[in-house]
A = this chain, B = another copy of it.
Amino acid sequence: MSHTQMLYVCMNVAIIAPNVPALYEAHFGIPMSGAVLNTVNIRLNASTIAFLLGHSKSAVVFVDQEFFTLAEDALKIMKEKSQGNFKHPLLIVIADESCDPKALRYALGKGAIEYEKFLESGDPEFAWKPPQDEWQSIALGYTSGTTASPKGVVLHHRGAYLMSLSNPLIWGMTEGAVYLWTLPMFHCNGWCFTWSLAALCGTNICLRQVTAKGVYSAIAKYGVTHFCGAPVVLNTIVNAPPEDTILPLPHVVRVMTAGAAPPPAVLSAMSQKGFRVTHTYGLSETYGPSTVCAWKPEWDSLPPETQARLNSRQGVRYIGLEGLDVISTKTGQPVPADGKTIGEIVMRGNVVMKGYLKNPKVNEETFANGWFHSGDLGVKHSDGYIEIKDRSKDIIISGGENISSVEVENSMYLHAAILEASVVARADERWGESPCAFVTLKPGVDKSDEQRLAEDIMKFCRSKMPAYWVPKSVVFGPLPKTATGKIQKHVLRAKAKELGPVKLSKL
């Protein structure tokens, strides 16, 4: 199979829904009908949804009742832009008793078919269609707006199958696991856990909305054994008010986290509460996490801070991933395993996407020299574990030296008043760029004197890191996030740009 071919999919079915049972069912029913499943991020706006429904040519759209008007708006935009060529997709609305019944009535009034009625109209004798070729597409998911134009990641049956089997193997999941859906299923098919749970005869607990209270009560009520979440989800759990928690936990709960490296302070706090955190890393293009920071027995006896530091590494490849390396962006050769030399993280093998839909040029760049180029920068340690230092575009270059925004953030999370921190490059008259920190404070922190707080934070940073790493600017306020809880650094970079360059006088 060549990754650089022009990719099309034959028949696309889109679904716009939070973590409800119908979305889980769609992961089976749609591929079994021979179509490709296109899960849509519910937090996108109507015009972006219009773009991707058009780009994927989705012939059928399933939509949760709460998001019906969003879908309606998207279809309106498509129609307006179509110049008379618009073909209205089959529209199916998913009812949910926990939602406002008016929304359902509205949808039905607009001619949408109710989901259960739609299922009843099916042929119970329908012979499901196994893929004719295991490289056939199973799912399509659009990357969520950290770049200007969403790209359609096309996944194949072979990769989805192997990732589904790899997930439980690297995470101690056994038959009958009880999995809580905190991770959106629309995000890279819930990292393929949708299919893993079926392979394990496990139980799926669906959550429409993720709150600390919802997570703790599901653990107590349903015996949840496993859930996944971006570091910000962990943050929510760690900083939940006591009345929302149920502690001590009735049993060990395993949590998988991915995305950015979770700050050691958060990892440590989770561990103290009895959550066993497994840190993984991957991308939508690799079916979700495809590397894991495999815990070594000899780490058991280390101090908690050292444990957290080691556990924030991105680790080693999943069993289903054939190749993983860190290569020099200049020479294309593997970097030495010295824990210092930064290169780009690259992957290859079964759990790497087919390519981006209808995007041969980007595919060619992305798969240059037979590797999938992640765009993440990292190092290789002597034990073979990789560790992300930054996204290519997140690295801060100050006076010609690289500053890892992730490392600055990790140190900042140790500050008692900081709930969340994100560091980006800000133009700097003297150094070219310097770190600019955006910070959310913990509830209860006195926010009256921001100047004093900022100085205190900078002082704290000076005690933890080289002087040139210390943020020259600290900005307070809520952080912009994607639907999956990733902090949108491109928004912060835009804000940093608005601030203008750090003046020479500031030194």
Interface of A with B (CB < 8 Å)?
165-166, 168-170, 172-176, 199-201, 294, 297, 319
Contact = CB atoms under 8 A, between A and B. Distances in A.
B174 A174 contact: yes
Contact of A297 (B169, B174, B176): B176
Contacts of A166: 165
A350 to B, nearest CB: 10
Given A169-B175, A175-B294, 12 more contacts: A165-B169, A165-B319, A168-B169, A169-B169, A169-B174, A169-B200, A170-B175, A172-B175, A173-B174, A174-B174, A176-B297, A201-B294
Given A176-B297, A294-B175, A297-B176, A319 B199 contact: yes
A300 B204 CA distance: 22
A429 to B, nearest CB: 52
Nearest to A320: B165
A294 B176 CA distance: 11
Nearest to A201: B294
Contacts of A319: 165, 199
Contact of A199 (B169, B172, B199): B169
A267 to B, nearest CB: 19
A175 B319 CA distance: 12
A300 to B, nearest CB: 12
A175 B199 CA distance: 18
Contacts of A169: 165, 168-169, 174-175, 199-200
A172 B174 CA distance: 5
The 3 A-B pairs with the shortest beta carbon distances in the complex, nearest first, are A172-B174, A165-B165, A199-B319
19 contacts: A165-B165, A165-B166, A165-B169, A165-B319, A168-B169, A169-B169, A169-B174, A169-B175, A169-B199, A169-B200, A170-B175, A172-B174, A172-B175, A173-B174, A174-B174, A175-B294, A176-B297, A199-B319, A201-B294
A359 B453 CA distance: 81
A165 B200 CA distance: 13
A222 to B, nearest CB: 14
A173 B294 CA distance: 16
A134 to B, nearest CB: 10
Contacts of A199: 169, 319
Contacts of A176: 297
A172 B175 CA distance: 6
Which of A173, A175, A294 has most chain B Cβ within 10 Å?
A175
Nearest to A162: B165
A283 to B, nearest CB: 23
A36 B123 CA distance: 48
Contacts of A170: 175
Contacts of A294: 175, 201
A165 B170 CA distance: 11
Contacts of A175: 169-170, 172, 294
A223 to B, nearest CB: 12
Contacts of A201: 294
Nearest to A199: B319
Contacts of A173: 174
Nearest to A200: B169
A199 B317 CA distance: 12
A117 to B, nearest CB: 29
A166 B166 CA distance: 10
A319 B170 CA distance: 17
A444 to B, nearest CB: 40
A92 to B, nearest CB: 31
Nearest to A165: B165
Nearest to A173: B174
A168 B174 CA distance: 9
Contacts of A172: 174-175
A324 to B, nearest CB: 15
A237 to B, nearest CB: 24
Nearest to A198: B319
A172 B297 CA distance: 20
A179 to B, nearest CB: 15
Nearest to A319: B199
A323 to B, nearest CB: 10
A169 B201 CA distance: 10
A166 B319 CA distance: 13
Nearest to A196: B169
Contacts of A165: 165-166, 169, 319
Nearest to A322: B130
Nearest to A130: B322
A294 B201 CA distance: 10
A165 B350 CA distance: 15
A169 B319 CA distance: 13
A254 B324 CA distance: 34
